[in-house]
A and B are shown apart, each in its own frame.
Chain A
């Protein structure tokens, strides 16, 4: 057993006795969800897990951001484009001059420059990059958000498990959050029109007191019905209603006017900045997974103008997020992932654009479980192919799971069929794990 998986087992061993005691106590109740979620209702165990609860903010750069104008610049090469590379706080590591703020914070970041994910089609590539593998005929995998929601979410949680922002129209239908075979329980709360989730606020036609008491009445009726009956689905139904009031109370998390002006200024006035600030508020309150989608990266024409406009926003917002999490002592428990469905071609087309490219592109992981300041993967001089430390979607996901303390070989069961979180044989990149 290597070191990282040993520590992984240590952190997950949360006292077998407590665990068993909690499980036994709970099989007696009507809602025995044996996935282990209910174990968390035991206060002692819950506290233990809460301490370690890892959370993820994914900055989803929809359409495909260019690695050459961000994390893997090739200044001077025929494919390099007009922008320079600048040194960073990590000796020897250079990134695009469009990211001066991130250049000061690379010691927290792990860059993977050797992604080769084989798929240059927006829709199916987005599906793959959100799951770490292709869906199989007859088996739809849960995406990263759903897995993290399932692994880190608490049954009695007062906040949503999985929130995804995707307010721009381009490509929105291509990678909706999707819990696959994990089903509705882990489906995301999706925000596509504004920054407040649907149905989170009570209607004006009912007073808050009545809203609460009718729900108590419901609870009473459901307890009468539960006598002599037992069912996991019924458990999930009651759990869902029990969470409603808590989630309604979390509406303020979506309201950035609650943040001091100083903090809001830090993230800037753009929608992407504001949503990222909401994401920070959410993970701080215990939401396990938040995705902030930012579209319009698909620069088939005018690649350099597009990136000149969009990369500084990413730079600014991501830097603000890192600082903010660090100031709050959250960077050890929160992971930031920047990801797209693919990167962009080194070759520059006739419209001065870059096209879809999945053979040699970059992603970053920041924060919990990762070796800050590390760079893994190397592309050739023009950026056409990976020459060392190649990474595919599967090992990227195994790495993310491992960094979060989730065993990538853990099985879910679809009927009798064991389905591991990553396909058999896929391994995490040990070199970048903390």
Chain B
């Protein structure tokens, strides 16, 4: 008996200590965020209601609004862990892999108007499916072609191969959260610890990369020289952002012979594109990956991905702007950033672990409404920020919002997934006309004109053909039923009494032409900000 009790006690202790070590990330997040709110005497907004939360989670995790069926089931459920179950279901869905891959692709190719140049979307979808950790994705993007499966990752570098400065900056921004281009012509004006040496040091790792007839290749040697603001021209070392230097005897210009070989190899490649260029004995790019991930230097890498994912789900980074993660620009919550970065590194850069932690937190689940006029600044995360939908969210959501909800009812999970994938394709055309949100994003009049007068909107979404929401309203017994269905489908929530009054009044003036009235209401619903934003 005593033995038994002891054993019980032991289990308890060990489980307690395990829990302390494995404390859920969400509680760590809330503790740090709440501590700062308390310290600065700021009252946060309350938690969002269930309808808002399932809409937000579905948009953020799988890139679309929930169907009427999904919302209703969530609202009806009284299970204590229904949110965790929802999150786990969404994160297990292939749509999660597809949508997060699109977001990572946009993050890597953030420059507007570059089209699909540099896109590694297909690679990323597969990487997400395979649950690859972030450091592995980084390695494969930087060192593609190591095996046949990761070759497609090479497009990220290949699209930048003509401009080593750009490659240097894009790599630094995407993986380390630092924009070093200011240090190109002079020492960084804002950041004391960054000199021209840092920019050219980073460039040295990448400048040997070249395009050998469509294949990404790297030279055996190379030297980047630069003219400092003071003093004569000097060669750059292989130097990482932290100042860590990789020693090498390959800092030299190519010999005439090597140049000739490269040219011949390039010519040969044109004829026989399948042959991969030989990997150099000493790969500077491989060294960059190595040094960037070694424990002392990995802080840049870990903090960047934490900040990026935080921004993805909360609309504001712990450090802003996202590409200014340096000593002169501290985080709003330095301890939290550090703890999350450590957790990331300790858990093998598991992207899903952090995403789940963020979206399970109370911080994430706050309402976007705030009672008083004096709204707390974004950096407190006291109120949910309105985030404009991404093009993909817009396209797919528009399709779901304008489809007969029965389309998604009573399906087996695989069938449901397939139907959702069809909605994604149906929304792709319109998505290509929507601007990707960027920092200081503003919506232009072009979008409003497109929605107001584009025949694409009218024909693809506001139709009353088979399977459409408007078509399904033809059988509505009374206008109130149709009005309720419109709001529930388009906005993923029940209509408020105020709205019912407004919409019923709108209908009453057009009751002799019900179909047109419904169409106009649906237009107003999908063009109002409640639809346009994740709120």
Contact = CB atoms under 8 A, between A and B. Distances in A.
A414 B439 contact: yes
A205 B443 CA distance: 26
Contact of B324 (A230, A413, A415): A415
A220 B181 CA distance: 46
A220 B502 contact: yes
B529 A237 contact: yes
Interface in A172-189: 178, 181, 183-187, 189
A213 B505 CA distance: 12
A198 interface: yes
B435 A184 contact: yes
Contact of A217 (B453, B498, B516, B524): B524
B321 A416 contact: yes
A263 interface: no
A326 interface: no
Interface string A184-204: 111101000000001111110
B452 A215 contact: yes
Contact of A178 (B113, B320, B532): B113
A33 B442 CA distance: 10
A240 B181 contact: no
A247 interface: yes
Interface in B419-468: 435, 437-450, 452-455, 458
A328 interface: no
A237 B535 CA distance: 14
Interface stretch (A75-83, A131-139, A366-374, A401-409): A131-139
A291 B418 CA distance: 47
B246 to A, nearest CB: 23
A234 interface: yes
B293 interface: no
A228 B440 CA distance: 21
A138 B520 contact: no
A136 B529 contact: no
Interface stretch (B81-89, B126-134, B363-371): B363-371
Given A178-B113, A415-B320, A189 B452 contact: no
A224 B499 contact: yes
Interface in B504-535: 506, 516, 520-521, 523-525, 527-530, 532-533, 535
A270 B439 CA distance: 42
Contacts of B516: 206, 210
A228 B371 contact: yes
Nearest to A423: B185
Contacts of B533: 231, 233-234, 237
Contacts of A222: 528-530
Interface-centre pick from B321, B323, B435, B444 (highest chain A CB count, 10 A): B444
A1 interface: no
B454 A217 contact: no
A241 B442 contact: no
Interface in A21-42: 28, 33
Contact of B450 (A199, A243, A247): A199
B532 A237 contact: yes
A138 B329 contact: no
B175 to A, nearest CB: 14
Contacts of A243: 445, 448
A248 interface: yes
Interface in B313-351: 320-321, 323-324, 329
Interface string B148-185: 00000000000000010110111001000001011010
Contacts of A232: 442
A229 B386 contact: yes
Given A210-B520, A229-B368, A137 B170 contact: yes
B385 interface: yes
A218 B528 contact: yes
Contacts of A343: none
B445 A247 contact: yes
B49 interface: no
A240 B502 contact: no
Interface string A283-310: 0000000000000000000000000000
A184 B371 contact: no
Given A137-B166, A218-B527, A222-B529, A233 B441 contact: yes
B295 interface: no
A217 B521 CA distance: 8
Contacts of A199: 446, 449-450, 452-454
B169 A137 contact: yes
A6 interface: no
Contacts of A214: 520-521, 523-524
Nearest to A230: B375
A408 to B, nearest CB: 19
Interface in A153-171: 160
B232 interface: no
B111 interface: yes
Nearest to B435: A184
Nearest to B525: A221
Contacts of A221: 499, 502, 524-525, 528, 530
A36 B112 CA distance: 25
A240 B321 contact: no
A244 B111 contact: no
Nearest to A232: B442
A347 interface: no
A203 B453 contact: yes
B63 interface: no
A34 to B, nearest CB: 11
Nearest to B368: A229
Given A198-B449, A221-B499, A138 B442 contact: no
A140 B114 CA distance: 11
A384 interface: no
B388 interface: yes
A160 B449 CA distance: 11
B452 A244 contact: yes
A215 B527 CA distance: 9
A47 B471 CA distance: 50
B169 A138 contact: yes
Contacts of B448: 237, 240-241, 243-244
Given A139-B181, A198-B449, A240-B448, A218 B524 contact: yes
Contacts of B371: 228
A224 B524 CA distance: 13
A50 interface: no
A151 B373 CA distance: 30
Nearest to B496: A224
Interface string A222-262: 10111111111110111011011001100000000000000
A157 to B, nearest CB: 9
A218 to B, nearest CB: 4
Nearest to A218: B524
Contacts of B438: 181, 183
29 contacts: A137-B168, A138-B173, A181-B440, A185-B443, A185-B444, A199-B449, A202-B452, A206-B520, A214-B520, A217-B524, A218-B523, A218-B524, A221-B530, A225-B530, A230-B370, A233-B386, A233-B442, A236-B444, A237-B388, A237-B533, A243-B448, A414-B440, A415-B321, A415-B439, A416-B190, A416-B320, A417-B182, A417-B190, A417-B321
- Nearest 9 CB-CB pairings of A with B: A415-B321, A185-B442, A184-B444, A228-B369, A236-B442, A214-B520, A240-B448, A199-B449, A137-B169
Interface of A: 28, 33, 136-140, 160, 178, 181, 183-187, 189, 198-203, 205-206, 210-211, 213-215, 217-218, 220-222, 224-234, 236-238, 240-241, 243-244, 247-248, 413-417
Given A202-B452, A229-B368, 18 more contacts: A138-B166, A181-B438, A184-B444, A184-B447, A187-B444, A187-B446, A189-B446, A199-B453, A200-B449, A214-B520, A220-B502, A221-B528, A231-B385, A233-B442, A240-B444, A240-B447, A241-B452, A415-B324
